Structure 1
Amino acid sequence: MPDFDSDLLTLANDLRVACQRIARRVRFESTSDVAPHLFSVLVGLHNDGPQTPTQLAGRDSVSTPSMTRSVNCLADKGLVERLPHPDDGRQILVQLTDGGRTVIDETIASRDTWMLHHIAGLAPDQLALLRQAADLLSEVASAE
């Protein structure tokens, strides 16, 4: 590990732990019975459109057989559908169904409501600080 100031190391650790705790809490605060790893697949399809299981696996950093099991589970729940690939008859494309879109909308609303309830009572200066922190954390997250 490079030589960093101990205060910076402490801040890095504290930020990591706080982000993990918030992410864990928000992830499990939803009305959906869809597991977090399956919800991630739905969001990927929502954001990027129909994809092959291999593309989905690459996005979520899992094996293709593991993603195929996830797609099968989502298909059994009626949240995704498999379509023939237009350019390669050996492959399929996975796309969201209306039910999948509903799960995404309801889950995001539930998670946003949880967060809203936890920040609504903060003072205006604290909310402004959180706005700055959210912007900065988004920048850190997108840095390569």
Structure 2
Amino acid sequence: MPDYDPQLLTLANDVRVACQRISRRVRFESTSDVAPHQFSVLVYLHFAGPQTPTHLASRDAVSTPSMTRTVNCLADKGLVERSQHPDDGRQILVSLTAEGLRVVEETIANRDTWMLAHIATLSPEQLDLLRRAADLLMEVSHAE
């Protein structure tokens, strides 16, 4: 590890731990029995549209057989459907069903409600600081 300033190392650790704690806690704000890795696929399909299992596997850095098992589980629950790829008959496309969309929207709403309840009592100055921190964390999360 490079020789970093000890205060910077402490800050890096504190930010990482805080993000992990919030992430872990907010994952429980769901009324469905969809596992986090499955929910991640549903959300991606919601925002990106139909995808091949190979693309989904690449995005989540898992093997294609592993993603196929995830897709099969989601299909068994009625949350996704498979259709023939219009340009390549050897491939399938995975897309959300109406029930899959409902699960995504309900879970996101529950998670946002949980977060709102925890920040609603902050002062205007704290909310401004939190807005700036959220912007910075988004920037850090997109850095390569």
The sequence identity of aligned pairs, in percent, is: 78
Per-residue deviation, 1:27: 1.2
Q: Which residue of structure 2 lines up, in the alignment, with residue 22 of structure 1?
A: 22
How many equivalent pairs are there? 144
Is 1:126 the equivalent of 2:133?
Answer: no
Give the distance between the partners of 1:123 and 1:108, measured in 2 at CA: 25
Runs of 4+ in 1 over 4 A off after TM superposition: none
Distance 1:33 1:130 in 2: 31
Who is 1:56 aligned against? 56
Question: 1:102 aligns to what?
Answer: 102
Matching residue of 1:77: 77
TM-score (norm 1): 0.97
Letter in 2 for 1:93: L
TM (norm. structure 2) is 0.97
| Structure 1 CA distance for aligned equivalents of residues 14 and 96 of structure 2 | 37
Q: Which runs of 5+ in 1 are unaligned?
A: none
**Number of the residue aligned with 2:113:** 113
Amino acid at match of 1:45: L
1:33 deviation in Å? Answer: 1.6
Residue aligned with 1:93, SS:
strand
CA distance in 1, matches of 2:30, 2:128: 26
Give the 3-state SS of the residue equivalent to 2:51 in structure 1: coil
Deviations 1:100-140 (A, max 9, x none): 11111000000000001111111111111111100110011
Alignment correspondent of 1:68: 68
What residue number does 1:142 align with?
142
